[in-house]
């Protein structure tokens, strides 16, 4: 996507997203969106759509140790398995268990997956207004007890990003993947 196309997409999506109540802006150098988001936010601040102090703007760090040293919160990246991306392969939202649980309260598998992670700091990514709205609709219901047990035992769990880039046997803070994940690999 050309920079001008990326800027146009951000300009189209962010005002509506912020008006829905979204206050977390997720940036990273690898996303290539910092300049576009900066330009959009500058415009929205000037138009008094939102104030800077009302937003939580994050970027990615390359060191988990920095998070611990400065008492920063570690957030769950890709809590829905990054459907539609080429670098992570996951079918978590196609789980028959999620579909079964979603049916009873009239929710979607996405909403059930997000609701299960309540109490954790997660970052579901979307540029679609309908999916952003869907992601917000997880606060006024709970998973029925009989189905919660089913989710707890029958849903497949997987670590999609193993963290190999944080491991170096000679010079790294972590010498092995087992050390990075405290044996829970």
Cα 142 to Cα 18: distance, rounded to the nearest angstrom: 25
Tokens of 38: 């900066």
| Distances from the Cα of 174 to the Cα of 18, 29, 65, 169, angstroms | 39, 23, 10, 7
CB 155 within 8 A of CB 163: no
Bridge partner list, 58: 26
- Please tell me which residue in 14, 31, 153, 174 is annotated as part of the active site: 31
- Radius of gyration from C-alpha coordinates of the chain: 19
Cα 172 to Cα 185: distance, rounded to the nearest angstrom: 18
Place of tokens 């992570």: 88
Q: Is 174 a catalytic residue?
A: no
CB 112 within 8 A of CB 102: yes
Active-site residue numbers? 31
């Amino acid at each position: 996507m050309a920079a001008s196309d990326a800027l146009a997409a951000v300009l189209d999506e962010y005002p509506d997203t912020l008006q829905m109540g979204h206050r977390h802006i997720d940036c990273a150098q690898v996303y290539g969106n910092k300049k576009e988001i900066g330009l959009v936010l500058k415009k929205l601040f000037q138009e008094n759509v939102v104030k800077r102090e009302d937003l939580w703007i994050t970027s990615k760090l390359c060191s988990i140790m920095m998070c611990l040293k400065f008492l920063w919160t570690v957030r769950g990246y890709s809590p829905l398995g990054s459907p539609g991306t080429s670098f992570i392969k996951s079918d978590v939202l196609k789980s028959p268990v999620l579909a079964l649980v979603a049916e009873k309260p009239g929710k979607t598998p996405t909403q059930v997956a997000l609701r299960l992670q309540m109490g954790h700091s997660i970052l579901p990514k979307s540029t679609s207004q309908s999916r952003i709205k869907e992601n917000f609709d997880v606060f006024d219901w709970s998973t029925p007890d009989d189905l919660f047990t089913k989710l707890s035992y029958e849903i497949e769990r997987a670590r999609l990003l193993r963290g190999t880039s944080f491991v170096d046997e000679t010079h790294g803070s972590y010498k092995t993947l087992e050390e990075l994940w405290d044996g829970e690999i």
